[in-house]
């Protein structure tokens, strides 16, 4: 990068969020990662420090307004500004609309849909303008029909947030990108593991880095990345 920049990544202590933090730090950005569990966050920060990153860890719930405000404030205090906000935190609940757990639904909808909106609301007053960027992590599941999938509906909502946000911010020089990964080797697969053709988180992190690294006048609005072998 031509000048020091910084990125705040929600859900940055594991999986895709952590891979994105490593990749952006490798591009020269200072990074802040948030997560809900102190021990997991500490391990992520230690790994990033060990790789030479300028990193801050903040314990925060992506679905909590006060936590988003505090995360942005601590990021700015540490890094001196905010250039990129990555709304990555999210998860999928087991089952579908016929047999899923409504309590898990509540948490999933709040994290996956309200979370990105809260990050945007907290970040905008401090986001560099012009030149700032918001990256929303959606999913291929938000663009295809998966019978009974409430998770897919939450990611469709993320896509809608991106589409409605871009025309609001583009005149101020703030870019908005939606990244939609296909099947990725992520922690939510649990013991069963991801399919053998699944993308590694690092591959999606590189896609985020490519978006963030575009010249200031280039606004990549949507990028869908599927692994070879994924048929839907």
Q: What is the C-alpha to C-alpha distance for residues 43 and 64, in angstroms, rounded to an integer?
A: 23
Domain positions in the chain: 5-225
Whether 119 is catalytic: no
pLDDT digits (tens, 9 = 90+) for 40-82: 999 999 999 999 999 999 999 999 999 999 999 999 999 999 9
pLDDT at 232: 87
Question: Using an 8 Å Cβ cutoff, are 169 and 185 in contact?
Answer: no
pLDDT at 188: 67
Question: Using an 8 Å Cβ cutoff, are 152 and 211 in contact?
Answer: no
Residue written as tokens 């757990």? Answer: 101
**Hey, what are 74's tokens?**
């601590």
Which residues are 180's β-sheet partners? 224
Nearest CA to 197 out of 183, 179, 178, 181 is that of: 183
Question: Using an 8 Å Cβ cutoff, are 86 and 142 in contact?
Answer: no
Q: What is the C-alpha to C-alpha distance for residues 34 and 222, in angstroms, rounded to an integer?
A: 24
Mean pLDDT score of the chain: 95
pLDDT digits (tens, 9 = 90+) for 190-214: 677 788 899 999 999 999 999 999 9
Going along 70-225, which residue ranges are E strands?
84-87, 133-137, 175-181, 222-225
Catalytic residue among 13, 151, 152, 179: 151
Topology of domain 5-225, per CATH?
Rossmann fold (3.40.50)
pLDDT digits (tens, 9 = 90+) for 14-26: 999 999 999 999 9
């Amino acid at each position: 990068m031509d000048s020091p920049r910084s990125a705040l990544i929600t859900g940055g202590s594991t999986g895709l969020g952590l891979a994105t933090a490593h990749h952006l730090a490798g591009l020269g950005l200072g990074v802040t990662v948030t997560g809900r569990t102190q021990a997991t966050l500490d391990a992520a920060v230690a790994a990033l420090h060990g790789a030479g990153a300028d990193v801050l860890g903040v314990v925060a719930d992506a679905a909590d307004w006060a936590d988003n405000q505090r995360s942005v404030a601590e990021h700015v205090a540490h890094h001196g500004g905010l250039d990129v906000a990555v709304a990555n935190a999210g998860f999928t609940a087991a089952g579908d609309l016929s047999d899923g757990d409504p309590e898990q639904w509540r948490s999933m909808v709040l994290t996956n849909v309200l979370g990105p909106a809260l990050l945007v609301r907290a970040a905008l007053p401090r986001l560099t303008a012009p030149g700032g960027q918001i990256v929303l992590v959606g999913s291929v599941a938000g663009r295809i029909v998966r019978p009974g999938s409430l998770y897919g509906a939450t990611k469709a909502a993320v896509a809608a947030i991106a589409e409605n946000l871009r025309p609001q911010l583009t005149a101020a020089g703030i870019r908005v990108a939606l990244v939609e990964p296909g099947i990725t080797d992520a922690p939510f697969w649990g013991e069963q593991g991801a399919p053998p053709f699944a993308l590694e988180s690092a591959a999606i992190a590189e896609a985020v880095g490519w978006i963030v690294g575009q010249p200031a006048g280039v606004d990549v609005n949507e990028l869908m990345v599927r692994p070879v072998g994924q048929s839907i």
